[in-house]
């Protein structure tokens, strides 16, 4: 069976005190035994989160990472720095990084390479904008974005990738892809993985859905056969909502 994963992307939320409070609340809920729970706080809260979650199975993920092992990159954080504090997974390619910070395919290709070489796992995000869907270009856009993640990977390294399909029009908008739309795209994505590798590999790579997942819609979305969990933004800032989502399989 593929890993089931529910990951909370906190984005630029939760300072030191808020992190302590939210993690205390999270720890008061029983962890589902068959779901991997992850949280992605800001850089400044990573070490604190790793320490506070030591007694749990919840893992801590970085939201971003620099594009070199070290060097003159003011404001950046290296993979080694992440690993040194117990962070073994990084989100790459989030639409907010693509849109606001202009991270393009070229840049993301470098980032994935560095992450993999540094033995970090990658949650690779991608997804079409509203205009792409309206023009019915969404499959083509997704296929092109996936190339960045898949093209140079070996059979061994593809196992370090978790994919997160996040249609931009559903992020933070309250609008969600229907379960059928999510399944249609996830199955398309799995076929693409199969074409780069083979069906056995495709069967193992977790594909998460992200975009306004809430306790009220998680069950329906997670019930689809190619949806292996979610990357949760807004709802991950509330412990009860997040744990309800984690229990929605
Ligand atoms: P929302 O759940 O707030 O729509 O955000 C999704 C997201 O961007 C997760 O990375």
62 has which bridge partners? 90
C-beta of 212 in contact with ligand 1 (< 6 A): yes
Question: Which residues, at least 6 apart from 63, have a Cβ–Cβ distance to it below 8 Å?
Answer: 9, 10, 11, 40, 41, 42, 43, 90, 91, 94
Going from the Cα of 124 to the center of ligand 1, the distance in angstroms, rounded, reads: 14
CA 79 to chain centre: 17
Largest CA distance in the chain: 49
* CB contact at 8 A, 165 and 132: no
**H or E element that contains 108:** helix 105-117
* CB contact at 8 A, 4 and 34: yes
pLDDT tens, residue order, the chain (249 aa): 799 999 999 999 999 999 999 999 999 999 999 999 999 999 999 999 999 999 999 999 999 999 998 999 999 999 999 999 999 999 999 999 999 999 999 999 999 999 999 999 999 999 999 999 999 999 999 999 999 888 889 999 999 999 999 999 999 888 888 999 999 999 999 999 999 999 999 999 999 999 999 999 999 999 999 999 999 999 999 999 999 999 999
Residue 94: phi and psi, rounded to 5, are -60, 145
Question: Which numbered atom of ligand 1 lies nearest the CA of 174?
Answer: 4
C-beta of 9 in contact with ligand 1 (< 6 A): yes
Going from the Cα of 198 to the center of ligand 1, the distance in angstroms, rounded, reads: 30
CA 52 to chain centre: 21
- Catalytic machinery residues: 94, 166
Establish how many alpha carbons lie within 13 A of residue 145's alpha carbon, considering only the half-sphere containing its beta carbon.
26
């Amino acid at each position: 069976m593929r890993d089931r994963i529910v990951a909370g992307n906190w984005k630029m939320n939760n300072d030191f005190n808020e992190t302590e409070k939210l993690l205390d609340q999270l720890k008061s809920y029983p962890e589902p035994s068959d779901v991997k729970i992850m949280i992605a706080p800001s850089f400044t809260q990573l070490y604190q989160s790793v320490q506070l979650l030591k007694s749990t199975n919840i893992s801590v993920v970085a939201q971003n990472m620099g594009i070199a092992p070290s060097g003159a990159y003011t404001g950046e954080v290296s993979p080694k720095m992440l690993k040194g504090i117990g962070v073994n997974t990084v989100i790459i390619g989030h639409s907010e990084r693509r849109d606001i910070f202009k991270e393009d395919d070229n840049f993301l290709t470098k980032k994935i390479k560095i992450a993999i070489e540094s033995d970090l796992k990658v949650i690779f995000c991608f997804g079409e904008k509203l205009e792409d869907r309206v023009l019915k270009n969404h499959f083509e856009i997704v296929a092109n974005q996936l190339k960045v993640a898949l093209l140079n990977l070996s059979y061994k390294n593809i196992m370090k990738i978790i994919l997160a399909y996040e249609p931009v029009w559903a992020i933070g908008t309250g609008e969600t892809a229907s379960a059928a739309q999510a399944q249609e795209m996830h199955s398309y994505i799995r076929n693409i993985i199969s074409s780069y590798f083979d069906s056995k590999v495709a069967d193992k790579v977790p594909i998460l859905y992200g975009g306004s997942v809430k306790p009220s819609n998680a069950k329906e979305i997670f019930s689809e056969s190619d949806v292996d969990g979610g990357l949760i933004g807004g709802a991950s800032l509330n412990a009860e909502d997040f744990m309800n989502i984690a229990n929605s399989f």
